[in-house]
Amino acid sequence: MLLAEIISVGTELLFGEIVDSNAAFLARELGTRGVTLHRKTVLGDNLTRLTDAIGTALDRADLVILGGGLGPTDDDLTREAIAATLNETPIEEPAQLAHLRGLFESRGRTMPDINRKQAWLIPSAEALPNPVGTAPGWFVRTTRGTPKLLVALPGPPREMQRMWREQVLPRLPLPAAALEHTTIHTQGIGESTVAELLGDLTRQANPSVATYARATG
């Protein structure tokens, strides 16, 4: 069983300015591929809290996925936090830097110096190409008693989803079996009544059964 945690990074998420659709997308993707997701966490742009959260997640999970914080500005701290957690020093990767410069030049622009951090890499990380943005991702292999995987993905959903499908999935040691789930809609009966009729089913681990109320169109 592959255990996973998701850490969504961005103060704008904590303020409710942006809905965390990335975590919902990744949760569905993991479930359909047999990966057990135990936790989803949202953190602001704070290096200490982010570093602590990554370390704790790596102690609990086999796969830790971070979304956001890969931009070029001072409040984009995902790379710094991963490096601090693993006690590794980032360096500029020449091929990544040349690629970034090429992206700006192809648009008739000069690359600002602050974008150089998007060419950083640590020894345990592999850069993940981003064909629709400037921020490459990281695929990190490390060990904390047992082998661990850490994936850093860009925040914009269009960039994140394409990188996930094209770059991350082929690198993951996915289980042979997947999780199956079915949603059954009821009408004219309360949630508590449904739970009472299901009886012991709602207290089992396999299959796991949950009841909830929601409006459907």
Tokens coding 166: 């094209």
Looking at the chain, the number of H-run helices and the number of E-run strands are: 7, 8
166 CB-near residues (< 8 Å, 6+ apart): 131
**Residue 25 one-letter amino acid:** F
pLDDT band at 4 (very low <50, low <70, confident <90, very high): very high
Tens of pLDDT, residue by residue over 107-120, are: 999 999 999 999 99
Cα 7 to Cα 20: distance, rounded to the nearest angstrom: 11
Question: For the packed helices 47-60 and 78-86, what is the interaxial angle rounded to 10 degrees?
Answer: 60
Tokens of 176: 């042979």
Give the predicted TM-score (pTM) of the model. Answer: 0.86
Peptide bond connecting 207 to the previous residue in cis, omega within 30 degrees of 0: yes
Question: DSSP code of 132?
Answer: T
- pLDDT of residue 182 exceeding 90, the answer is no
Q: What is the pLDDT of residues 81-93, one digit of tens each?
A: 999 999 999 999 9
Q: Give yes or no for residue 180 having a pLDDT over 70.
A: no
pLDDT of 70 > 80? The answer is: yes
Domains, the chain, with CATH or none: 3-171 (3.40.980.10), 182-217 (no CATH)
> How many CB atoms neighbour CB 202 within 10 A?
14
Each residue of 149-162: pLDDT tens digit? 999 999 999 999 99
Sign of the torsion formed by the C-alpha atoms of 159, 128, 153 and 181: positive
